[in-house]
Structure 1
Amino acid sequence: MQSRTLVQPAQLVVRFGLGTAFLSAVADRFGLWGPAGTPGVAWGDFLHFTMYTRDITWFMPALLTPLLAWMATIGETLFGVLLLLGYRTRETALGAGGLLLTFALSMTVSSPGLHGVFTYSVLSAAGAALLLATVPDPAWSFDALVRKSDPAA
């Protein structure tokens, strides 16, 4: 039996952790953490992120690479903001989990072994997102405010 005293703070930590991780990755690809080559910076600009996107989607037509890079960026921005707000948490968490599993699969087929998937905790994040989708009553969220103000909910 789950303890409600642990589920509510845990879902908040998962929402905050995933939301900030998504937004941090987006900030990196726009140079907000520093330029390419700076220690701790993965991309530093959108060009380097697009080249990385090409590396992990080599099996797709190259013409689609910019579209895929932008789709990932828009998805990560949207999921990051919605997770932080706790808006449509179940649907957002399912989408985030799907996006993370897609990243994990692309990383796996594009490089030898699962090293990158494990090093960047992509499966852990995907699992956390999917578990978050099972929380029936996310507290400290926009969803909770709407539910509280709607007597029919």
Structure 2
Amino acid sequence: MTAPNWERATILYARLALGAAFLSGIASRFGLYGKDVGYGNFANFLKYTAEVNAFMPASTILFLGWSATLAELVLGIALILGLWPRWVALASALLLVLFGIAMAISFGIKSPLDYSVFSASAAAVLLAIHIPGRRT
């Protein structure tokens, strides 16, 4: 495989991995993996949303849960389809870093590091700055 082919394959891999991760989270919160797998249902997801955002007023949790779900749905689909790659990657990086910061505030820094939230955010930043065909 030539260098440009490796580059394209790597970018595709990162896009598909990030997009699939977003969509998998949505599948879990709606019980598509089963009621005893992951969140299992949206109510359990909202409980987790409240735990991650323990510093936020309880009245914001429903909004945060649905906002995260909508953002992950749109970003996941756009990443997989390769739509607006730079802007979608930047939005993905922002969403992930905000999630990681919320996790760190509520659970300590170990939690987002153990779940590779900042690593995924960094991968999204690399996608955003990637310029096809440019050699580094």
Give TM-score scaled by structure 2 length: 0.92
Paired with 2:132 and 2:26, the residues of 1 have a C-alpha distance of 29
Give, as a single letter, the amino acid of the residue that structure 1 aligns with 2:125. Answer: L
Gaps of at least 5 residues in structure 1 are 139-153
Matched, 1:49 2:53: no
Q: 1:7 Cα deviation (Å)?
A: 1.7
Which region of structure 1 is more displaced relative to structure 2, 57-66 or 17-26? Answer: 57-66
Count of aligned residue pairs for this structure pair: 131
Task: Quote the Cα distance in structure 2 between the aligned partners of 1:131 and 1:10.
Answer: 11
1:76-123 C-alpha deviation (Å, 9 max, x unpaired): 000000000000010000000000000000000001x32221221111
1:7 corresponding residue in structure 2: 7
Instruction: Return the letter of the residue paired with 1:102.
Output: L
Q: Which residue of 2 aligns with 1:118?
A: 113
1:95 and 2:91 correspond: yes
Greater fraction of residues in helix: 2
Residue in 2 that maps onto 1:34: 34
C-alpha deviation, 1:67, in angstroms: 0.3
How far the C-alpha of 1:33 sits from its partner, in A, is 0.7
Larger radius of gyration: 1
Q: Partners in 2 of 1:47 and 1:128 — Cα distance?
A: 30
Q: What is the deviation of 1:4?
A: 2.5
In the aligned structure 1, how far is the partner of 2:123 from the partner of 2:38?
A: 23
**Unmatched segments (≥5 aa) in structure 2:** none
Runs of 4+ in 1 over 6 A off after TM superposition: none
2:125 matched residue in structure 1: 130
Q: 1:64 aligns with which of 60, 63, 73?
A: 60
Q: Please tell me the root mean square deviation across aligned C-alpha atoms, in Å.
A: 1.3
Q: Percent identity?
A: 40
**1:18 matched to which residue of 2?**
18
Tell me the SS of whatever aligns to 1:133: helix
